[in-house]
Structure 1
Amino acid sequence: MKFLLDNWMLVLMAVASGSMLLWSTFGRGVAGGAVSTAEAVRLINREKAVLIDVCEPAEYAAGHAIGAKNVPLATIDGAKNLPSNKALPLVVMCATGARATRAVAMLKKAGYANVQPVSGGLAAWREANLPIEKV
């Protein structure tokens, strides 16, 4: 107890740094419902999630995750190449994650039950050294 009282500043710094570490680890996945690239791969491999890329066709052609279907954000309403089974998990990606978050809201409004954006988008996908293909 004497140690804690004598070194209260060190204890406070240790608690603060531990809190920030936990928040950065768990906070991103919870906030906004975004999934990490590792979780996206798990969903695709184990739960047969469909990867949807909402980039514009030119961006998609320049490079996209292997197996991603291109459904530009502007065409999501009424898109024909979305899965007809609305219970199927969807993982949505764009260049950085901003458009994917908007697309998730649109897809949920259209009745898709299990839709999640990839945190960081294609940039995070590349950073994780996951496979990319070009058209």
Structure 2
Amino acid sequence: MGQYLEFARNHPLLMAALVLVITLLVMNEFKRKLLGFKEVGANEAVRLINHDDALVLDVREDKEFRDGHILHAKNIPLGLLESRLDELEAHKDKPVVVYCRTGQRAAKAGAVLQRQGFNSVYKLKGGMLAWTDANMPLSRK
């Protein structure tokens, strides 16, 4: 134990960096828990779509959607989501898989859906980038 204390006294910058990294990891875990929805990978998303009849919600902009999207995905850009929630009302009791390019916009959309009473919200981990990296099919219709 004495060696650890000596190391900490001799390397304050390394110790500060260690504390910062640990703090960021803990904060990230708490943030994930507080959001109230789960992250799923591409394979789990496919299972939800095929077996649980999940709605796939793409919250990217229209141009991004036209460049390629998950088959049968509904496109509502994040900026319009709250004003178009009535289009999703019939899906409140079904699983909803939300995605964007990387996952940042999808996290915000997931929080909106949770607040509006959607029961089973899932965010595609890594977004469209992870979907294409997993060699999953795209639709351009």
Q: Which TM-score band applies after superposition, normalised by the shorter structure? A: 0.7 to 0.9
**Relative to structure 1, is the Cα distance of residues 83 and 132 closer, same or farther in structure 2, using a 3 angstrom cutoff?**
farther
The one-letter code of the counterpart of 1:74 is G
Q: What does residue 125 of structure 1 align with?
A: 131
Q: How far did residue 83 of structure 1 move? A: 4.3
* Equivalent position of 2:39 in the other structure: 34
Q: Name the aligned partner's letter for residue 134 of structure 1.
A: R
Task: Number of aligned residue pairs: give it.
Answer: 106
Task: State the TM-score, normalized to the length of structure 1.
Answer: 0.73
**In structure 2, what residue type is equivalent to 1:102?**
K
Structure 1 position 105 matched with structure 2 position 111: yes
| 3-state SS of paired residue (1:65) | coil
Q: TM-score under structure 2 normalisation?
A: 0.70
Matched-pair identity in %: 40
Alpha-carbon RMSD: 1.6
Task: Specify the alignment match of 1:48 in structure 2.
Answer: 53
Offset, 1:76: 1.0
Task: Indicate the SS of the match to 2:87.
Answer: coil
Q: Which has the higher helix share?
A: 2
> Equivalents in 2 of 1:61, 1:42: separation in Å?
24
Q: Unaligned regions of 5+ residues in structure 1, if any? A: 1-27
Contact 1:76 1:107 survives alignment (8 Å): no
Q: What are structure 2's unaligned runs of at least 5 residues?
A: 1-28
Q: Which residue of 2 aligns with 1:12?
A: none
Q: What's the counterpart of residue 76 of structure 1?
A: 81
Residue among 54, 63, 66 paired with 1:61: 66
The Cα shift of 1:67 comes to 1.2
Q: Which amino acid in structure 1 is aligned with residue 82 of structure 2?
A: D
